[in-house]
Amino acid sequence: MTTAESFTPEELKTLAGSVMLSGMAVSMVDMGVVSTAIEANAMAQEVAGATQKYPSNAVIQALFSEEAVKQARSNGTMKLDVKPEEMQPNLAVDTAVTKINEALVILNQKATPEETQEFKEFIYSAADRVANAAGNGLFGSGGSKVSDKEAAALAKLKAALGL
């Protein structure tokens, strides 16, 4: 059975980064001042609800339980190692895909197939929630919720996740 102790701190950082960077990437490809704030809030809500949505997934529990988050904040494992230029709109999705690939290597070695599948679904769910959080326009309330750029980013993430 997979436990938090199954992963090194660096592996946990990579796994958490795959989720966070995927959501950030979708936000960055078509950003606006207000919509970015709305999307960041959507991402935070998705992460906060992860342990309830996936109560038997040891990987998600190891990363996002209340205790895990407290520990990660104190030891710095929640800090993303990403350069600002890697999150430019034209590179953000590729940066996220790279982190997803690193995470999948770890998961395929240490997690059960069910945990891996759920984690992949969680990554995509977080990115999708970000994309659907705000519409177009000045205050993020106009037009369709998901822009063409966001839809393309979601498609690329979905392909990388094998979903």
> Percent of the chain, pLDDT > 70?
91
pLDDT of residue 77: 66
Closest by alpha carbon to 107, among 93, 117, 94? 117
pLDDT surpasses 80 at 72: no
Count of structural domains within the chain: 1
Amino acid at site 158: K
Give the pLDDT band of residue 33 (cuts 50, 70, 90): low
DSSP 9-52: HHHHHHHHHHHHHHHHHHHHHT--HHHHHHHHHHHHHHHHTHHH
Domain that holds residue 138: 4-161
pLDDT of residue 137: 53
pLDDT, tens only, 76-88 = 666 777 777 878 8
pLDDT, tens only, 9-19 = 899 999 999 99
Using an 8 Å Cβ cutoff, are 63 and 57 in contact?
no
Mean pLDDT of 54-67: 92
In degrees, rounded to 5, the angle at the alpha carbon of residue 103 between the alpha carbons of residues 38 and 36 is 10
DSSP 121-143: HHHHHHHHHHHTT--BSTTS-BS
At residue 137, φ and ψ (nearest 5 deg) are 100, 175
pLDDT, tens only, 124-153 = 999 999 999 876 655 545 566 788 899 999
> Percent of the chain, pLDDT > 90?
52
pLDDT, tens only, 76-120 = 666 777 777 878 888 999 999 999 999 999 999 999 999 999 999
Look at the chain and count its residues: 163
